[in-house]
Structure 1
Amino acid sequence: MRMMKNAFLISVLSFVLFACGEEKTEAQVGQYTTIEVEEVYNAGSVAKGEIIEAKIEVKNTGDYPLMIANVSASCACTVSEFDEDAIQPGETTTVVATVDTDKTGKGRINKPISISANTRPSRTVISIQATVLD
């Protein structure tokens, strides 16, 4: 009986020691992080019909992996792509948003996109701005 107790105790201690040495590589529920991002992307002057490709750098400045859940646009003229893998602390990812100026008006445009992630607040809004010329 004593030998079984010792074996159990050794296995529990081994589990605790190995579990404490694990790195934080995957996001877990309740782990919030912080990001650094330019909140305005200015494409300058573009011709009507041109596609604006906004490459938005998002840096994880927190202590836990960053998980981008969704990137949404305010209109059908804007589409986005993002990496669904965890972005580790200190690393950067790129969100690509394209705006089809054929579907926008002329003049100054402002197309917001929202990045939803495990941050507080959970939503970060980026404004894609340009002047559409005829």
Structure 2
Amino acid sequence: MTRMLAILALAALAVGCGTSPRAVERKGRIISLTDSILTTGGTDTVRFGRLGSGEIAVLRLWLANDASRPVAVASYRRSCGCTTLEFDAQPIAPGDARQVTLTFDSRGERGWQLKALDITLAGGQRPLRLFVEADIK
């Protein structure tokens, strides 16, 4: 009987270990996507800080789905060719997050820069507008 209980306990531990999804640590900037942003749009500012002339800077951001339904990045429009957004178009489940990569190419830019990036979300009525700010020396 004791041996049977020990075997059952080990089996329960084996089943419980490694089968649950791992939580991904979200380091860095998190942008929350809410039902309100999907309906009315929203804005946020991403600051690259001070960059040297000709420097190409990369930031990794998290898009956290705090809405009640899945959200996916469908496309984006930019005010300048100096900004790009790399993203996975797969839907982000409610409560989950996905990392995107924002790049700012400072070649040809001088002084304080403010660029706009409109992110179209699948199922959203208005885009999320990101202002991209950098000071080029």
- For normalisation by structure 2, the TM-score amounts to 0.64
Structure 1 residue 88 displacement after superposition: 0.3
Q: Which of these two proteins has the greater Rg computed from alpha carbons?
A: 1
AA partner of residue 52 (structure 1): A
SS in 1 for 2:114: strand
Which residue in the other structure is 2:75 paired with? Answer: 70
Match of 1:130 among 127, 130, 134: 134
AA partner of residue 82 (structure 1): F
CA RMSD of aligned residues (A): 2.2
Match of 2:122 among 111, 115, 118: 118
AA partner of residue 79 (structure 2): S
Aligned residue pair count: 100
Structure 1 residue 56 displacement after superposition: 2.5
**Residue 102 of structure 1 pairs with residue 103 of structure 2:** no
Deviations 1:22-53 (A, max 9, x none): xxxxxxxxxxx636998111111110011121
- For normalisation by structure 1, the TM-score amounts to 0.66
Which residue in the other structure is 1:4 paired with? Answer: none
Aligned residues of 1:72 and 1:80 also touching (Cα < 8 A):
no
User: Identity percentage over the alignment?
Assistant: 26
